[in-house]
Amino acid sequence: ENPQTPIMEERKGRRIIMFPLPFPGHFNPMIELAGIFHHRGFSVTILHTSYNFPDPSRHSHFTFRNVPHNKEGEEDPLSQSETSGMDLIALIRQLKQSYAEPFRQSLAAEVRGGGDTVCCLVSDAIWGRNTAVVAEEIGVRRVVLRTGGAASFCAFAAFPLLRDKGYLPIQDSRLDEPVTELPPLKVKDLPIIETKEPGDLYRVVNDMVEGAKLSSGVIWNTFEDLERFHFMDCNSKLQVPFFPIGPFHKHRDDLPFNTKNMEDCKTTEWLNKKDPQSVVYASFGSLAAIEEKEFLEIAWGLRNSERPFLWIVRPGSVRGSEWLESLPCGFIENFGDKGKIVKWTNQLEVLAHPSVGAFWTHCGWNSTLESISEGVPMICTPCFSDQHVNARYIVDVWRVGLVLERSKMERKEIEKVIRSVMMENGDGMKERCLELKEKANVCLSEEGSSSKYLDKLVSHVLSFGS
């Protein structure tokens, strides 16, 4: 008799409603989590915004519902033209404001609409307290997904203290001072985001932390062996159950982002022809933008390092350019087959490829965790927010990467750092990174912490309905 049968039956008709934030670094882990719940016998409905809306055909296991946000005939505050000049915090505030009421209506319709019993709502932590208030009003329990790491969350949660003590707002004269309350962070590592209204950043962060306190639990895309002490800290601050069940994308082999298009296949073919651990993979995530001058330094640095490179340049990510126009004429052609530039790739697949020897990254949390999961050492150029905290941990705590500060991103320096990381065993970095990869695998094994937390999460969520 299959021991799983009674559990699966019990779950039949149980539904989880998810409300992701519409940015790839948030949406992707939510979809991965949806896949994990689905595998455990739940049905999943994704409430999504029309801003950056997903392609449901790529995720046929789930039901997608659009949350309509603007009334017919009214100006859309989230249209392409309205949002193109906005900074990230202003955009997040606009999203939160625009979707507050429509989300209430959509959630109510889903919960009261009959059909499967709804176990709970899983909302991105950044949506904040409004989702808590709405869920309570509608009578559905709410669990929060925090897509970043626990160390950076502790730094966000410390914002009031950091402001009281004068660390925030950051003063240029204090950048290299240690933050004694949050070792090993320095003032320059604090997770700020440049915005026209600094008060807005504090409000968004505070709302995220207070919203998590009001939840029935927090799910983390990280694993206990990586951030054990920060879980204790988060736990004492939030006082809610927490579930570090990451890395999400490693739970199963057939997760949604393993789909490949033609361009990805060409990239794999290109990688197949390279020596083991010889390629530098460079990508700065889905949001960071760079100046043209920086772009050219990166180009020359990669080229002069004389290592093969795969470089992701998102269209529009170089200020003032559409894509690659500012590269000197013949730049790529002269380099022959040694360099490849694409607009986007299947990053999970690239990092898992044996030819990749280093990842030059902006240290977004997903990229960090994906690199660790494949044992690939990093070159860290954090741009904003949690990326600074992640970089500090990569370089000083886990010691699986070297820093290349954005302000020092000059071709000679780039060449030097690439050579150091790609050096045989990169001063022990590769070994340490493989050890972390092994720890992640252990956490995901049957008796490992991520698996056990997942079992607890499933029981927790099922207990809501009873």
Distance CA 212, CA 203 (A): 14
Determine, following the binding rule CB under 6 A, whether residue 317 of this chain makes contact with ligand UDX. Answer: no
Q: Which is nearer to ligand UDX, 295 or 458 (CB)?
A: 295
> Is there a contact between 16 and 38 (Cβ–Cβ < 8 Å)?
no
Q: How far is the CB of 109 from ligand UDX (least distance, A)?
A: 29
- Stretch in the footprint of ligand UDX (CB under 6 A) among 9-17, 156-164, 227-235, 384-392: 384-392
Residue of 331, 344, 398, 464 that binds ligand UDX (CB under 6 A):
344
Determine, following the binding rule CB under 6 A, whether residue 201 of this chain makes contact with ligand UDX. Answer: no
Determine, following the binding rule CB under 6 A, whether residue 267 of this chain makes contact with ligand UDX. Answer: no
Determine, following the binding rule CB under 6 A, whether residue 347 of this chain makes contact with ligand UDX. Answer: yes
Sheet with 43-48: strands ordered across: 63-66, 43-48, 14-19, 117-124, 141-146, 218-220, 242-244
Determine, following the binding rule CB under 6 A, whether residue 287 of this chain makes contact with ligand UDX. Answer: yes
What part of residues 297-316 is at the interface with ligand UDX (CB under 6 A)? Answer: 312
Q: Enter the tokens of residue 465.
A: 């309905």
Distance CA 136, CA 238 (A): 18
What part of residues 142-171 is at the interface with ligand UDX (CB under 6 A)? Answer: 147-148
The torsion angle over the Cα atoms of residues 339, 345, 351 and 356, rounded to 10 degrees, is -10
Residue of 35, 247, 285, 301 that binds ligand UDX (CB under 6 A):
285
- Stretch in the footprint of ligand UDX (CB under 6 A) among 194-202, 298-306, 345-353, 453-461: 345-353
| Residue 75 CB contacts under 8 Å (≥ 6 apart), including other chains | 82
Number of residues that bind ligand UDX (CB under 6 A): 25
Determine, following the binding rule CB under 6 A, whether residue 365 of this chain makes contact with ligand UDX. Answer: yes
**Helical segments of 113-197, H only:** 129-138, 150-157, 159-164
Q: Enter the tokens of residue 101.
A: 């009421």
For residue 220, the 8-state DSSP code is E
Residue type, 338: K
Residue of 49, 366, 373, 449 that binds ligand UDX (CB under 6 A):
366
Distance CA 114, CA 106 (A): 13
Q: Enter the tokens of residue 366.
A: 């997903």
- Stretch in the footprint of ligand UDX (CB under 6 A) among 130-138, 224-232, 385-393, 451-459: 385-393
Residue 128, Ramachandran bin (φ over 0: left; ψ between -120 and 50: alpha; else beta): left
Residue of 49, 267, 345, 373 that binds ligand UDX (CB under 6 A):
345
Distance CA 245, CA 35 (A): 13
Distance CA 43, CA 117 (A): 10
Determine, following the binding rule CB under 6 A, whether residue 367 of this chain makes contact with ligand UDX. Answer: yes
- Stretch in the footprint of ligand UDX (CB under 6 A) among 18-26, 373-381, 391-399, 423-431: 18-26
Determine, following the binding rule CB under 6 A, whether residue 216 of this chain makes contact with ligand UDX. Answer: no
Q: Which residue has the tokens 């030097």?
A: 416
Determine, following the binding rule CB under 6 A, whether residue 387 of this chain makes contact with ligand UDX. Answer: yes
Q: Which is nearer to ligand UDX, 167 or 365 (CB)?
A: 365
The torsion angle over the Cα atoms of residues 378, 184, 201 and 31, rounded to 10 degrees, is 40
Determine, following the binding rule CB under 6 A, whether residue 222 of this chain makes contact with ligand UDX. Answer: no
Residue of 246, 247, 339, 364 that binds ligand UDX (CB under 6 A):
364
- Stretch in the footprint of ligand UDX (CB under 6 A) among 116-124, 160-168, 297-305, 362-370: 362-370
Determine, following the binding rule CB under 6 A, whether residue 370 of this chain makes contact with ligand UDX. Answer: yes
Q: Which residue has the tokens 């020596």?
A: 275
> Is there a contact between 252 and 35 (Cβ–Cβ < 8 Å)?
yes
Q: Over the Cα atoms of the chain, what is R_g? A: 22
- Stretch in the footprint of ligand UDX (CB under 6 A) among 44-52, 263-271, 323-331, 339-347: 339-347
Torsion angles phi and psi, residue 451, rounded to 5: -65, -40
Q: How far is the CB of 314 from ligand UDX (least distance, A)?
A: 8
Applying CB under 6 A, the residues found at the interface with ligand UDX are 23-26, 28, 147-148, 283, 285-288, 312, 344-345, 347-348, 364-367, 370, 385-387
